[in-house]
Structure 1
Amino acid sequence: MRVLLSSILIVFSTSLSAQNLNGNWLLAYIKASPPEMVMGEDGAVLEYNEGGYDDEQSFIEPGLMLLSVLPSNKAESFYADVKEEWKVIQDGKQVRFESLEDTLYGGFNTEGMLVLKSTIDESPTDYFFAAFSPEVAPFELTNSSWSTNGSSGFFQNKTFEFRPKGELFIWENGQHEKREFYTHTLGKYMAIEFSSEVLTAGFGIIYVEKSNGNMLTGISFLSLEEGALPVRSQVVFSKK
């Protein structure tokens, strides 16, 4: 029994350390504990929780970033119009991304997500990245309507109508919610940001994977309950 257990642990450890880092990783969501305002002798000051997360104070929101890990221990990240280059250092189950401005460090969790921290964050913050395989270049969404579906209940039986000037109508049962949308270029690819009062963060992100003109597929991490971790949803849009 002990020999079998040792063998299982060795295989498990090897699989973690051999996790393939190359490829694209989308920033699924961010979990952070903001500083607390406390009164000191000289007035109000910000106090940071150095001991870890305070679940009552922490917040979770969708992320918007694409991290592309390249061969030769290099990586590129894209956030809106910002591109940053990184040096990748992998040591067993741990990995570091070093740039001129920042260092990200961490490893893989049990779900296969890449969980990183930043050396420039003053309060506890985790960045959760998920593997991503996009194939489509940015394209125009304005003046188009799409029937939506997805593994998350939020996208079931809705219509997203992308109107001029970033206006979005989300239709359901003959009624519409008037919201906003933005498209973001992330290197060679794109993401759609949209607002909604139904979502705990007030907005959501769809990372576009594929599109053939009449059908669009993507990945979104959404939370419909306060304090709950966002759940991965495979999103399918069909053009109307």
Structure 2
Amino acid sequence: MLDLIDVTKSYPSRLGRRYIFRDFNLSIPDGCNAGLIGPNGAGKSTLMRLLGGLEHLDSGRIATNRHVSWPIGLAGGLQGSLTGRDNVRFVCRIHAASADEIRAHVAFVQEFAEIGAAFDLPVKTYSSGMRSRLMFGLAMAFDFDLYLIDEVTAVGDAAFRKKSQELLQERLSRSNVIYTSHNMGEIARLCNLVVLLKPGSATIYHDVQEGIAAYQQPTAVSQREAVPA
């Protein structure tokens, strides 16, 4: 189970505090691959950062007994002055990997990311696509119970996208995902539950197609099966 309990998150602005969430609650059951969808500005990226531990709550708490990844595909998370190789080594040390495990993880990411000599260049010289390839490969090098993914399988050419999708599908045979995307085909393919996020609230749909329809045509779709978060 992943529970957000009375979560409040805000940022300072020239007009005072800007609240993204205020006393926000959400519960995602075990065994669910959740598609996180909603209009721009609803708080999807902020929610992913909170779940991945990249942002602090103003108040409330997030409760889970699952091993959760960092948000894959969102900006940040890599140290720009370090090379791709050194970033991978650094993350491995954080996860208390042994020397043999570090070598294996580095080799895996280098082969998977397909960024060539750039693997040994500073990450600040990378394009956004190269950063996403590195981040996705790095996350897939570890076994998490729950992956947080932001449309990263859309990066690269057709062959790389296919490889990424196949690897993610293999991971999901034993793990779960919270996946945010504007591609509703990907949401339908990967997810068995939809969280429709609107400013300040969320609605859970156990029927994925109904959740997608509510997002695309919110005034025309019945909310009978929706479960308030």
Fold match by TM threshold 0.5: no
Select the structure with the greater relative contact order (CA < 8 A; seq sep ≥ 6): 2
Larger Rg: 1
TM-score by length of 2: 0.23
Normalised by the length of structure 1, the TM-score is 0.22
